Amino acid sequence: MTDVQYAFVTEYGNYDFDFNKNDVSTHFIIATILVKESQKDMLELELELLRQKYFHNAEISSAYINRNPNRMIQLLHDLKELPFRVYAYVIDKRKIREDSGITFKKTFFKYVNRMVYDDLNRTFDQLDLVAADDGMNEYMQEFKKYINSTSIPNLFHYSLFGFNQSQSDLLLQLAEFIAGMIAQGYDKSQYSEHYRSYYKIIKKKIISINLLPHDYKHFLCDYQGGRPDEKYDEVIMKKSVNLSYQYIEQNRNSEEADEKIRIDFLKFLLFNLKENPNDYVYTQEILDNLNALRDVKINHHYFRSTIVSKLRDKGLIVASSNKGYKMAVCLADLNDFVYLSNLTIHPMIQRISKCRDQILLATNHEIDILNQKEYDYLKRIIEMEKLSVNK
């Protein structure tokens, strides 16, 4: 029997766009805590112990524990060992155009609901959504209505994707705690110098933080340059990010399993670019992230040949080095990609050339293994290289 995936959903922020007011958030955040049904009871037991340890039987709250950063760090170290994952959305309200109509509350709700529903429904074949049942705020009420009107229940009146009467106050408190922590890295009114330390501890629990609206400028202020060719960075970053967003948009309704993995991989690279703009990510860490959502696990060969290679075939700019993969955002990233590729391409061409020379010699030039038309480009490369060596 399929292990049901629960998503405990909450939100941070408000819907006002008058940023001159002190109580208006610059960002609207939706955080979901993902947990398998088989692990839900155990997770609740562990959370209850942590609640007693850190909150003296009060609710789990980031606002409460933020007064003591060292205590927060201890709690995050305990949380990172528990069986849950984080899937979140961060909407930068400052990047929503005033003339788009989205700044009206009802329109804003519809915009967020559609983006979140489309993404979750594409990512998860089955998801049991859970939100606070009593006193839900206005947005969550609208979100629940939207899901219930869009999702189609099965023959037993149970939606494979929707709200299905599950509850857990502790897991909803955890979702609110994570939303509050994420706000410290994004929302202007909540920004904390400790966020980077918090994120590094919990980052392996985060599957994705999806930034909305799609705009490469999300990443500009975070990327630190200081190189001679820095003037090209924004051009490279803009092209790299926009190609990724275009690919995600063009293929977001695909039912192909490979395409879904490619989109998840691009979202992971975008997330990593926001949080760690200079860092490559090792292949195994990427696989751990992608496999967290899947029953059939992805191996290294499949990932390189079917996911990364196919994206590059489509023209997407994915940089790689011996340290892993990243979204290319500067000339150095592109040089890393060319250098690593050259380590493989050049020796292979040399081997073909040597093999060809041996057969030509043995057959008195009667057999040329590159004589077929599809190998013309190889023949030209080899002959040009020989000419350059003989000069």
Question: Is the peptide bond between 69 and the residue preceding it cis, with omega within 30 degrees of 0?
Answer: no
Residue 159 is predicted with a pLDDT of 54
Within a domain: 282: yes
Cα distances (Å, whole numbers) of residue 170 to 36, 208, 303, 308, 372: 15, 22, 36, 39, 67
Q: Are residues 294 and 264 in the same domain?
A: yes
Q: Are residues 48 and 168 in the same domain?
A: yes
SS3 state of residue 328: coil
Residue spans of alpha helices (H) in 133-256:
138-150, 169-186, 195-202, 233-251
Residue 160: partners with Cβ closer than 8 Å, 6 or more residues away? 125, 126, 127, 151, 154
Within a domain: 221: no
Residue 158 is predicted with a pLDDT of 52
Residue 96 is predicted with a pLDDT of 81
Q: Are residues 132 and 165 in the same domain?
A: yes
Within a domain: 183: yes
CATH number, residue 119: 3.30.420
**Cα–Cα distance for residue pair 183/195, rounded to 1 Å:** 9
Boundary-marking domain end, from 274, 293, 327:
327
**Cα–Cα distance for residue pair 212/117, rounded to 1 Å:** 14
SS3 state of residue 391: coil
Q: Are residues 274 and 137 in the same domain?
A: no
Within a domain: 274: yes
**Cα–Cα distance for residue pair 140/145, rounded to 1 Å:** 9
Q: Are residues 307 and 345 in the same domain?
A: no
> Digits of tens for pLDDT over the chain (391 positions)?
467 888 898 999 888 888 888 888 999 999 999 998 889 999 999 999 999 999 887 889 888 787 889 999 999 999 999 999 999 999 998 888 765 667 788 888 888 888 888 888 777 777 888 887 766 678 888 888 888 777 665 545 455 666 766 677 899 999 999 999 999 999 988 888 999 999 999 999 999 898 888 777 666 654 455 556 677 888 888 899 999 999 998 998 888 989 999 999 999 999 888 888 889 999 999 999 999 878 788 999 999 999 999 999 999 999 999 999 999 988 899 999 999 998 989 899 999 999 999 999 999 999 999 999 999 989 998 888 887 766 5
**Cα–Cα distance for residue pair 55/62, rounded to 1 Å:** 10
Residue 113 · residue 142 · CB < 8 Å: yes
Q: Are residues 153 and 282 in the same domain?
A: no
What is the extent of the structural domain holding 262? 230-327
Q: Are residues 46 and 185 in the same domain?
A: yes
Distance linking the first and last C-alpha atoms of the chain: 69
Q: Is the C-alpha dihedral spanning 119, 124, 126, 127 positive or negative?
A: negative
Q: What angle do CA 55, 58, 62 make, to 5 degrees?
A: 60
Burial class (CB in 10 A: 0-12, 13-18, 19+), 97: exposed
What's the number of domains the chain is made of?
Answer: 3
Residue 360 · residue 368 · CB < 8 Å: yes
Residue 56 is predicted with a pLDDT of 85
**Cα–Cα distance for residue pair 34/6, rounded to 1 Å:** 6
